[in-house]
Amino acid sequence: MRKQRGGSRSAVRSVWRRRVLVGAVAIGIATAATTGAAYADTGLKGKILAWIGIQTDAAISSLDTAIAEETELQKQRIQSELRENLRQQAADMRQFTEQEKTARLQEIRSYADELLRSRSFDSAEQKQEYASRLNGIVDSALSAMDGLDVPAAAPTVTGDVYNGGQP
């Protein structure tokens, strides 16, 4: 037996309408929620990219500053070491020059003495004249060697050596 309802068609329609309405609202909510997530994702990407750009610029700037400071420190250290090396080389050169002058002068005097001993002279006067001429030659050699002085000032190291003469 079947029970008949009165107005069952209108109740079915009402339930069906209600279901369609709930479905439409659910689809609308889902669409709104998905759209908001998509916009949030785009905004988040933009913010992250902007933050990365700022951080990259700051890191590059920091590296450039650190490199410039370290370059200046190393340049000063190298200049200081070069100055010291040049001073030492100048002192070594002066010492070497004096040693060589002394050695060469001794060689010249020894050679002059040997010449005096190896020659035979007829008189003491002739020997004295010959010795006088040899002493003149020795004195001339000595004055020529004194003219070969090493420059007193050592070369200097300046900043323009490192930047190719550019300001």
Buried b (16+ CB within 10 A) or exposed e, 102-129: eeeeeebeeebeeeeeeeeeeeeeeeee
Q: If 0-12 CB within 10 Å is exposed, 13-18 middle and 19+ buried, where does residue 18 land?
A: exposed
C-alpha dihedral sign at 61, 67, 73, 79: negative
- pLDDT score, position 72: 95
- pLDDT score, position 8: 65
Tokens, residue 131: 């010795």
The radius of gyration computed from the CA coordinates of the chain, to the nearest angstrom, equals 52
Binned at pLDDT 50, 70 and 90, residue 1 comes out as very low
- Overall domain count for the chain: 1
> Does residue 154 lie within any of the structural domains?
yes
Distances (CA, A) of 46 to 34, 49, 55: 18, 5, 14
- pLDDT score, position 113: 86
> Does residue 1 lie within any of the structural domains?
no
Q: Dump pLDDT digits (tens) for 77-133.
A: 999 999 999 999 989 988 998 898 889 889 988 988 888 888 888 888 888 888 888
Q: Are 130 and 121 in contact (CB under 8 A)?
A: yes
Phi, psi (deg, nearest 5) at residue 121: -115, 150
Range in 10-14, 39-43, 85-89, 94-98 the model is least confident about = 39-43
> Does residue 6 lie within any of the structural domains?
no
Q: Does the predicted TM-score (pTM) go above 0.75?
A: no
Binned at pLDDT 50, 70 and 90, residue 41 comes out as low
> Does residue 28 lie within any of the structural domains?
yes
Domain that holds residue 56: 11-161
> Does residue 76 lie within any of the structural domains?
yes
Binned at pLDDT 50, 70 and 90, residue 166 comes out as low
All residues at 6 or more sequence positions from 142 whose CB lies less than 8 Å from its CB, including other chains: 105
C-alpha dihedral sign at 121, 135, 141, 89: positive
> Does residue 68 lie within any of the structural domains?
yes
Q: Are 115 and 127 in contact (CB under 8 A)?
A: no
Higher pLDDT among residues 18 and 38, named by residue: 18
Q: Are 154 and 87 in contact (CB under 8 A)?
A: yes
* DSSP state for residue 164 in the 8-state scheme: T
> Does residue 133 lie within any of the structural domains?
yes
> Does residue 2 lie within any of the structural domains?
no
